[in-house]
Amino acid sequence: ALLTQANRCALSLLNENRKSENKYRQLYDSSSDAVMLLDERGFFDCNKAALGMFGCATLKEFCLMHPADLSPPQQPCGTDSLVLAELHIAAAMEKGSQRFEWVYRRVDDGKDFPVDVLLSAVELEGKPVLQATVRDISERKQSEQKIHQLAFFDALTQLPNRRLLMDRLQQAFAVSARNGQHGAIMFLDLDNFKTLNDTKGHELGDLLLVEVAARLLSCVRDGDTVARLGGDEFVVVLETLSALESEAATQTERVAEKIRASLSQPYRLKGSSHHTTSSIGVALFKGHLHPVEDLLKYADIA
């Protein structure tokens, strides 16, 4: 009788454990976030959301993947993914948890996507393991990018706007002060642009501005800045010119002539040819000798 009672208790406990495990599994699989369990050998379990997020067909396929296989070689910060992952794992084991942003890579199509990761140190069957809860933040990142684009870039030409230009100029001044080299600001506008807008319409005027922006970019180096202030007004910032003022002036003149020649070439706008000319004023700078607004004014007057 005692043995029967013991068997019943054991069977009851086993059933309770199974119910608890099934309940946990249902909660585990119903999460919209990807949840993975890993130990020193790698992944050993994950929920259905993880399989979908990483493009794996089965749990077995997922657990065969090394964690490094699910990430690009480097993270956006430039650090090796494996090195950085080990640092996060060590921090989670020491502090109990670690939250950070990460870029993962899908197994099926190789596409990268940004995520928020929460690593939690837990104990499972008496052994320390890590639970990784991963949330896809692609939409949030896209929204942040759109907000940044609207705040710092011209909507028509996608060039830096006045706000970003002022920041770039301050950086250029700082670089010039450190290396002792000159820089130059070019203030540029299109001749008789208002006449084009009045006679041909704003749509054609916008097409011209977009083409002008593209030609300006083709005339300068990657490290230089081309910005649109509004209307037909553009600013070009040249950096790391000669330390000698006369040589810096000659270098700037060559770029200005290249721009003038490029902008004077015919434009093909909605099937018709259009010609325009430009006016360019230049102001050299070296370090922080003059305020930004003053230099822009000098170039505008020139």
Place of tokens 């006679």: 199
CA-wise closest residue to 107 among 40, 153, 61: 61
Return the sign of the alpha-carbon dihedral for residues 41, 47, 50, 52.
Answer: positive
**DSSP letter assigned to residue 69:** G
Phi, psi values for residue 25, rounded to 5°: -65, -40
CA-wise closest residue to 284 among 295, 274, 293, 271: 295
CA 22: distance to chain centroid?
42
Q: Among this protein's residues, is 232 annotated catalytic?
A: yes
Give, in order, the Cα–Cα distances in Å from 192 to each of 88, 100, 239. Answer: 60, 54, 30
CA-wise closest residue to 88 among 77, 78, 80, 99: 99
Name 46's Cβ contacts closer than 8 Å, sequence gap at least 6: 34, 35, 36, 37, 59, 62, 63
Round to whole Å and give the CA distance between 237 and 125.
Answer: 64
Lookup: tokens for 117: 């990761």
Lookup: tokens for 136: 């896809």
| Active-site hit among 224, 232, 294, 300 | 232
Q: Report the catalytic residues.
A: 232
